[in-house]
Each structure stands twice: as C-alpha cells, then as structure tokens.
Amino acid sequence: MSNPLALIVDDEPDIRELLEITLGRMNIDARTAEDLHSARQLLESERFDLCLTDMRLPDGNGIELVENINQHYPELPVAVITAHGNMDSAVQALKAGAFDFVSKPVDLGMLRKLVNTALKLERNDTGAARPGNSKQKPELLGKSPAAERIRTLIRKLARSQAPVFISGESGTGKELAARQIHQQSPRADHSFIAVNCGAIPQELMESEFFGHMKGSFTGAISDKQGLFQAADGGTLFLDEVADLPLNMQVKLLRAIQEKSIRPIGAQREIPVDVRITSATHKDLAALVESGHFRQDLFYRINVIELPIPTLRERRDDIPLLADMMLSRIAAYTGGSKPRIDRDALQALLGYSFPGNIRELENILERAVALCENGIITREDLQIPTDPAPERTTPLDVDPDMPLEAHLEQVERNMITTALEATHWNKTAAAKRLGISFRALRYKLEKLGLE
C-alpha cells in the first residue's frame, strides 16, 4: 500500500522544507508548490490525500485555493497556515471550507495532530471503517424535509474542524446534533465532552474549563484536569454558552484562538486539540448588541451556524418520534409498549409543542403512567389547550378610539397571547410573531410589558 500524498503550497522554501521533512517522518509523501498556479497544475496531475497551504501567495491567497479545491476536489481536506494571531484569516478560511488551520510559527506537534485527523477523514471517505462506529448513537430521527436537511448539514459539518454554533428553541435536540457531528467526524474515537455553562458556579468556572495545579489556591490538594484537556483530540460542546460571564468569555476566546490553555497555577500554556461546538436557546446576536456577549467570541464560535427546526416545523415526524420514545420508556420501565389511539395521535399532531421534543417525551412518560389496557387516549396525554388563533382584525371597534391607540391595543393583545402560548419564552414568542428578538424587546419596553 502506497504512502498518503500531501500537497504543500508556500512561497517560503524553508517552510516547504520543514513541512516536507515533518510529513516524511510520518510516512507521508509530499509535493510542493510555491504559488497558486503550480498548485493547480499538481492538483490536475495527481490525487492528493491532504493539502497544506499558506494564506499569502505570490499570485493570490490561500482562500482562493480552498475555494478551488472545494469546487473541484470536494473530498480533499485542505488546511491553511496563517500568521500568528491573525484569527480573522483563519475564520475566513474555515467559512470558505478549509478543514482546519495552523498558525506560524508552526507547532509541529499540533501539525501532526491536524494531519492525522485529516487522513482519518480521507480514509472514512474511501470506505474504511469509521472510528467509533461501535459506540455511535442513533441518528437524528425523522423523515420530514426539515429532518433530512439537518442530517445532510451534519454530514457536511462533520468533515470540517470549524466551530459550529447550534441555534434553536429549548428541547429541539441541539446536544443530539452536536453529538452526531462528533460521531460522524474523524474525532469520533476521542471524547465528546458536554458542559452546561449555566450550571457551573462562576468562582469555579476557570478551574473547570482549564484545570489547576496542586497548591494554586486554598483547597487545591492535587492537580486537576480541565474540560479542555479532557476533550483533547475530541469535541467540547458548550451548551447554553450565552450564560458565560464576560470575564470567562475573554479566557475562552484566547483558548480558541491560541489552541492552548493555562491551568491555574501553571507556568506555561499547554497546547490542546479541541473542536468547539456550542448552543443556546437565546438570541446570541441580540445579546451581542446589548453588550452581554462579546462580539469577537460570537464570531469565533459562530463560524458555521446550524439552526435546529422546532417540532412544529416537522410535525410529520411526531408519529415516528412518539413510537421511538414509547419503546424507550417501555424498555426502561420493564413493561410492555403501549400504543396510541387515533384520537390521541391527532391531538399530538395538532399541538404546538412550545417545549418541542423534550415536551413530547414528558407528555408520553406521563401518559404511559396514566393509560389503561396498554392504550394511550387523548385524556391520558393531558395536553394543554392551545390558545385560539389571534385575530388581526377585531370585530368590535370603538369608532371614537384614535387609530394609534387602537393599533397599540391590537399589538399588546397579540404579543401577550404569543408570550402566554410559549410560557413567556421571548425567543419562541418572537418567532411565533414573525419578528426579531430585538424588535420584540423594543415593543415590550414600549408597551410596558417587561
């Protein structure tokens, strides 16, 4: 079996030689090019397993090569070499489709990890066994167009190392999507670490993320590994990332940019190879505008956004999801699996599910406990009654009421109805009303509804 073949593109002979020697010690053959023109000629003449390109080239830049490779050689992983501290270029390259990036001066240890990860991806694409398949969890279920679209996006995102921000209402399955990205990626044989950022006490947050050394503070009786080190080689999922305090946002930003961390009490930084995925049900862009979330961190974690649809947008999946949940509940309780009668199923299909998939599961768990003879009826579901649809044209209009006051009253009624229907979840209410979170917040203040 022949060695893997890499393409190195850089206009500095010393860098080309260093990379060629490093790859050679990993039993990887290399071809080198000093500009875009030479790189394109080599791509046309040989099949490569990996490409490393500098950002600045005599006849263009690395982004152009990334775009060319994505268009003509979509299965070829390409990583860019950026100037130290130039995260804007790295983010631009990742958005253009680069697999990953490495900063100058090149850390050879990090480079080797990057190359090994890229080659795992290449082997997976050619049909070799995917690492971690034995532990792989079921895919996101559903046959609706929305579910199919999410599965397709997850497969694409699994090929990249770019940070992914998963947006969506509470209960839509954001952590499941993050796990699927990890399980389908070349990092699948390493750890997937999920952390709820809102559940960590603020005074312990730095130690939890970055670890600490023995004696670094009162109570530090031994060295402690942080979440970044625990996820080294794998994926760190930051759930409810909007709940991070501002001082921790600064430290997280540095860890992402430098690909290294410094445990409390340590004298030097430790390189870490971690892919960041994050999620929140809050409107992160609105939090940036209000100054509660750092704009630079937002751009770093939101290189690629994965919006998760609500259950209302994929009603066709409710019967399949309900059947899967009932099987799981029966296995957990040790009882027989109940069935849902036609009337109960129609009730589920007609409900708005402000709590999404999590609410569906809670409803079914309660129904299993209440049902008799193994049949779940509408009464067993105990589904809350959805409010009647809002009337945009009132029937009773006071002819003496000024138009502005009348419109304000209609607006107040619609907003209040939407908030009550979503249990005062402002993000969900804004979507229900078809307006932005920022617009809703403005209207709440204007109407005195805060």
Q: What is the pLDDT of residues 213-240, one digit of tens each?
A: 888 887 778 888 999 999 999 999 999 9
**For the segment 157-206, what is each residue's pLDDT rounded down to a tens digit?**
998 999 999 999 999 999 999 999 999 999 999 999 999 998 999 888 99
Strands of the sheet with 29-33, listed across from one edge:
29-33, 5-9, 50-54, 78-82, 100-103
CB 281 within 8 A of CB 168: yes
**Top-ranked range on mean pLDDT: pick from 89-93, 416-420, 433-437:** 89-93
The Cβ of residue 375 has, within 10 Å, a number of other Cβ atoms equal to: 12
Alpha helices in 184-294 (DSSP H): 205-210, 227-230, 246-258, 284-289
Overall average pLDDT of the 336-353 stretch: 93
3-state secondary structure of 30: strand
Q: How far apart are CA 279 and CA 305, in angstroms?
A: 10
**Cα-Cα-Cα-Cα dihedral sign, residues 27, 28, 29, 31:** negative
- How many angstroms from the chain centroid is the CA of residue 333? 33
Overall average pLDDT of the 376-383 stretch: 93
Q: How far apart are CA 350 and CA 332, in angstroms?
A: 28
**Tokens read off for 6:** 């890499």
5-125 maps to which CATH number? 3.40.50.2300
- Indicate the helix (H) or strand (E) that contains 63: helix 62-72
Q: How far apart are CA 370 and CA 377, in angstroms?
A: 9
* pLDDT range class, residue 388, cuts 50, 70, 90: very low
Virtual CA dihedral for 201, 202, 205, 207, nearest 10 degrees? -90
Task: Please check whether the domain covering 403-447 is classified as CATH 3.40.50.
Answer: no
Name residues whose C-beta falls within 8 Å of residue 447's C-beta, 6 or more positions apart in sequence: 408, 411, 412, 415
* pLDDT range class, residue 126, cuts 50, 70, 90: very low
143-307 maps to which CATH number? 3.40.50.300
Q: How far apart are CA 406 and CA 91, in angstroms?
A: 49
So where are the chain's domains? 5-125, 143-307, 311-381, 403-447
The answer on pLDDT for 315 being more than 50 is yes
Q: How far apart are CA 421 and CA 95, in angstroms?
A: 37
Q: What is the rounded average pLDDT for all residues in the chain?
A: 87
Measuring CA to CA, how many Å separate 116 from each of 51, 112, 195, 424? 13, 6, 27, 48
- Indicate the helix (H) or strand (E) that contains 320: helix 318-333
Phi, psi of 271 (to 5 degrees): -65, 140
pLDDT for residue 111 = 92
3-state secondary structure of 430: helix
Domain 311-381 in this protein, CATH class? mainly alpha
> Is the full-model pTM beyond 0.85?
no
Virtual CA dihedral for 212, 214, 219, 221, nearest 10 degrees? 130
3-state secondary structure of 305: strand
In the chain, the amino acid numbered 377 is T
The answer on pLDDT for 393 being more than 70 is no
The answer on pLDDT for 395 being more than 50 is no
Residue whose structure tokens are 């804004």: 430
* pLDDT range class, residue 405, cuts 50, 70, 90: low
Measuring CA to CA, how many Å separate 147 from each of 152, 155, 311? 9, 13, 10
Q: Identify any residues that bridge with 80 across adjacent strands, giving them in sequence order.
A: 53, 101
Q: Do domains 5-125 and 403-447 have the same CATH topology?
A: no
* pLDDT range class, residue 391, cuts 50, 70, 90: very low
The Cβ of residue 45 has, within 10 Å, a number of other Cβ atoms equal to: 8
Overall average pLDDT of the 295-304 stretch: 93
Phi-psi region of 233 (alpha: psi -120 to 50; beta: other; left: phi over 0): left
The answer on pLDDT for 128 being more than 70 is no
Q: Identify any residues that bridge with 79 across adjacent strands, giving them in sequence order.
A: 52, 100
* pLDDT range class, residue 445, cuts 50, 70, 90: confident
Q: How far apart are CA 259 and CA 252, in angstroms?
A: 10
Number of H helices, E strands in the chain: 19, 16
pLDDT for residue 1 = 67
Higher pLDDT, 335 or 249: 249
In the chain, the amino acid numbered 91 is V
Overall average pLDDT of the 13-27 stretch: 94
pLDDT for residue 59 = 93
Residue whose structure tokens are 């394109």: 40
